[in-house]
């Protein structure tokens, strides 16, 4: 598999993960700051 295809798969998987996190509480409204914190926490979790 080419590097570009692998990168695209990783990006899609990341967006899918974040979508599932957001769907856990569908009635919640997120601020920009909360979304940034959520993304930061996701990235830090992936680095461990």
| 6-34: pLDDT as tens digits | 999 999 999 999 999 999 999 999 999 99
Identify the burial level of 19 via C-beta atoms within 10 angstroms of its C-beta, where 0-12 means exposed, 13-18 middle and 19 or more buried: exposed
Residue 47 has pLDDT above 90, yes or no: no
**Tokens matching residue 13:** 């998987």
Between CA 4 and CA 26 the distance in angstroms is 33
Between CA 47 and CA 29 the distance in angstroms is 27
Q: Provide the whole-model pTM.
A: 0.74
Per-residue model confidence (pLDDT) at position 1: 63
């Amino acid at each position: 598999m080419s590097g570009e295809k692998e990168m695209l798969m990783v990006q899609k998987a990341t967006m899918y993960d974040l979508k599932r996190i957001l769907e856990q509480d569908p009635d919640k409204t997120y601020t920009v700051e909360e979304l940034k914190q959520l993304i930061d926490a996701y990235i830090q979790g992936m680095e461990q």
